[in-house]
Structure 1
Amino acid sequence: MSLKSELTLDVIDTHTEGEPTRIIFWNDIPKNLPDALSVRNYFIKHYDYIRTTLLQEPRGHKDQFGAVLLPPVNPGSSYTVIYPTTHSYLDMCGHATIGVSTALVALGYVQYEGSEKIITYDTVAGTVKAKVKIEDGEPVSVSIVDVKSYFVKKIDINIDGKIIPVNISYGGNFYAIVESDSIGIDVNTANIGKLMEYGNIIRKKSEQTIMNMYPEGKKNLEPLAMITDSKHDYRAFVTFGGNSFDRSPCGTGTAARAALLVHDGKLDINGKYTNESIVGSRFTCKIISYEKVNDNIIIVPEITGRAWITQLCKIIVNPKDPLKHGFLVQ
């Protein structure tokens, strides 16, 4: 018996504090592309079927997440990374970068000496550095030095006749952040259905405000929503497009929330806090530098979390399979 395949993809699967990342290497990209956005646009134009093949059913699921490692565009960087989801792409992803960095060290794709390895990535959001802590030859945690993060503005949205205050904040992606008390829902696993419902409404009603902040060429992206728990200082629930939500505390969301906390005077500009996910996993956020621009404070946050390799496998694409490039059922 022979196994027919028009495409075979070697895959590394990880989870970062509960959130999956499916990782592949992809080198079929022109060498003269000037930046990570150009790399992503090229990949979308020519290879978007790779995203759907890897992440959507039957090989994935609606909450699957990915990372594609490509050649770097800047001197000193190890890789360009783009972050596909089942429905779109994000500019930056903290949990995926932690997963990628863990896998690169654990599987020997990067060399290191001592107890720390620094890996530099080109992302659409900017240059991101990952500091991998190593004990007994194994990665035990990763600290991501994220891009500059900042509070943007406060807006109001109307949900069923009630005015809900929303904070727009940036941490590598733009987030619409809402306190749980304002919608009358506690952030816990018993309320996931309602949290998803409200998260999707918040995203859609904040979409135009957020999309207006993106330059042309990045309009394929979708807004993200974070519902913070008013009864639990640093628990939060993050929703994406495609009716999906983050099992981890969300790296760029943790950064965006830190910027909001600093703006509201609830976090010292030299301070740190712990952000907790819906499943109880945690990221630590430390502010490592800041600058004042007019009346706003722009921070550089460092997000620390853990990831584990869950499987190494080959994705097989049979040319006769009518669903070979994936599908989603919502």
Structure 2
Amino acid sequence: MKMKRMVSVVGMHTGGERNDVITGGVLDVPGKTMFEKMRYLETQADDLRKFLLQEPRGTVTQCINLVLPPCDRQADAGFVIMESEHYPPMSGSNTICTVTALLETGMLPMQEPYTDLTLEAPGGLIKVRAECRDGKCLNVRFANVPCFVFGLDLPLEVPGIGTLTVDVAYGGMIYVLVNAAAFGFSIVPDEAADMVEAGEAIKAAAAVQIPAVHPENPQIHTINQTLFAGPLERGPDGLSSRNGVIVSPGRLDRSPCGTGTSARLAVLHARGLIEPGERFVHKSIIGSEFTGEIVETLTVGGKPGIRPAISGGAWITGFHQYVLDSSDPFPTGYTLNDLWKKRA
């Protein structure tokens, strides 16, 4: 074997969602900020994402995180998030997995009972508190980037579906939020395929009909996630709800989704349905849970917004070394539309 490349990866999942973490094989990436590094990978070095996430090495249900030296002196480490089709500025589930991998492999020192650290995501600095015991990272709580609402009760025409009323919000990615009950969805596993089909159609229509540009970073733009919101329930411990987030190129997030939870908190706060400090449990289609709360109200480019904190746990599933033989006919992998759905 004449090896051309080797990349070391820690296998991870949070809430059932696979978010692996690159810990070796990539020294650094050009760029003065983590956002610039993300853009460099996206525009100049996308072969790394394709190599790891596309077939035959990767799967459509997988994300991966590249750990890098931080650009901001306040940060302990930086990371770039790579999904099946794009590079989001922030991801909650990927943050939880990256923190757990960094601490449990010793890349960053673990302190018990709590380890406080700062990660630099492309979307901004993320303050983290990890609950640790006996060498295990039990829970990761992070304060997300500022989140806000683009619009409430917006009309949306979806071919084959009709006219919908939707909300649009930023939670680290830009979401169109839809009432699941309007489609008859209870957000249970048997509905997954139908939710994906409807969610991709809604996302494609919303991306065209509802312009969405981040007021402080115009390079963050366009609706790229659909969130089906289940009914809100109020109990003695706070609020709870189910949700299903549709991730391109056509699948359901297995976790409760950190940026989706953040976007929904922004919408709930804008509607006066939740107050800062109130507990909100968000459940995924497979029943896994993240807990969220609003820790700060603020403004984002003149828009009222919030800073949410999200918490959840992650688990190491394996240690992998992905290699590229110089004679391999698929150095950057491939996709087939039986699994990698293409939008019309």
TM-score bracket, shorter-length normalisation: over 0.9
- The residue aligned with 1:245 is 252
User: Matched residues in 1 for 2:188 and 2:176: separation?
Assistant: 19
Contact 2:28–2:69 (8 Å) recurs in 1: no
Which residue of structure 1 lines up, in the alignment, with residue 20 of structure 2? 22
Distance change in 2, residues 1:209/1:77 (3 Å): farther
Aligned to 1:53: 51
Q: Is the contact between residue 226 and residue 238 of structure 1 (CA under 8 Å) also seen in structure 2? A: yes
Counterparts of 1:210 and 1:182 in 2: how far apart (Å)?
Answer: 20
Partner of 1:268: helix, strand, or coil? coil
Q: Aligned residue for 1:77?
A: 75
CA contact (8 A) 2:156 2:165 kept: yes
Shift of 1:208: 3.1
- Amino acid paired to 1:82: V
Match of 1:310 in 2: 317
Q: Which residue of 2 aligns with 1:44?
A: 42
For the Cα contact (< 8 Å) 2:55–2:334, is it kept in 1? Answer: yes
* 1:269 matched to 2:276: yes
The answer for unaligned runs of 5 or more in structure 2 is 234-239, 338-344
Partner of 1:171: 171
Distance 1:79 1:231, change over 3 A: closer
Deviation at 1:184, TM superposition (A): 2.8
Q: 1:312-327 counterparts in 2 under 5 A?
A: 312-327=319-334
Q: Tell me, in whole angstroms, the C-alpha distance in 2 between the residues paired with 1:293 and 1:147.
A: 10
**Counterpart selection for 2:286 from 279, 282, 290:** 279
Equivalent positions of 1:1-330 (< 5 A) are 3-25=1-23, 26-30=26-30, 33-154=31-152, 155-159=154-158, 160=160, 162-208=162-208, 212-214=212-214, 215-218=217-220, 223-230=224-231, 234-291=241-298, 297-330=304-337
**Secondary structure at the residue paired with 1:6?**
strand
Q: Secondary structure at the match of 2:292?
A: strand
Q: Pick closer, same or farther for the CA change 1:210–1:146 going to 2, 3 Å.
A: farther
Separation in 2 of the partners of 1:196 and 1:179? 14
Identity over aligned pairs, percent: 26
Range with bigger deviation, 286-295 or 139-148: 286-295
Matched AA of 1:164: L
Answer yes or no: is the 8 Å Cα contact 2:175–2:263 preserved in 1. yes
CA drift of 1:218 comes to 4.5
Provide, for residues 240-288 of structure 1, a one-character-per-residue CA deviation record: whole Å limited to 9, x for no partner: 2111221000001001101111111221233120000000000000211
* Matched residue type, 1:158: E
Q: 1:290 to 1:324 in 2, by over 3 A?
A: same
CA distance in 1, matches of 2:82, 2:316: 19
1:65-119 Cα shifts (integer Å, max 9, x gaps): 1111111110121222111112111110100110010111111111133311122
Rounded to whole Å, the distance in 2 between the matches of 1:83 and 1:35 is: 14
The alpha carbon displacement at 1:212 in A equals 3.8
Whole-Å separation in 1 of the counterparts to 2:244 and 2:147: 19
What secondary structure, in the 3-state scheme, does the structure 2 residue paired with 1:234 have? Answer: strand
Instruction: Please state whether the residue corresponding to 1:133 is helix, strand or coil.
Output: strand
Provide the rounded CA distance (Å) in 2 between the counterparts of 1:143 and 1:202: 31
Give the secondary structure class of the aligned counterpart of 2:45. helix
In the alignment, the residues of structure 1 paired with residue 302 and residue 124 of structure 2 have an alpha-carbon distance, to the nearest angstrom, of 24
Letter in 2 for 1:122: E
Letter in 1 for 2:205: K
Is the Cα–Cα contact under 8 Å of residues 116 and 133 in structure 1 kept in the other structure? yes
Q: Which amino acid aligns with 1:240?
A: V
Instruction: Find the residue that maps to 1:90 and give its secondary structure.
Output: coil
8 A contact 1:263–1:296 mirrored in 2: no
- TM-score by length of structure 1 reads 0.92
Contact 2:104/2:110 (<8 A) preserved: no
Q: Give the direction of change, closer, same or farther, for the CA distance of 1:110–1:88 in structure 2 (3 Å limit).
A: same
Q: Which moved more, 1:16-25 or 1:292-301?
A: 292-301
CA contact (8 A) 1:174 1:210 kept: no
Q: Tell me, in whole angstroms, the C-alpha distance in 2 between the residues paired with 1:258 and 1:184.
A: 23
Measured in 1, the distance between the counterparts of 2:55 and 2:97 equals 22
The 1-side partners of 2:300 and 2:138 are apart by 36
TM-score (norm 2): 0.89
Deviation of 1:318 after TM superposition, in Å, equals 1.2
1:104 and 1:164, CA in 2 relative to 1: closer, same or farther beyond 3 A? same
1:44-63 deviation digits (Å, cap 9, x = unpaired): 23321110111111111111
1:168 alignment partner, SS class: strand
Amino acid at match of 1:175: Y
Q: What is the alpha-carbon distance in structure 1 between the residues aligned to residue 94 and residue 199 of structure 2? A: 21
Worse-superposed segment, 43-52 or 284-293:
284-293
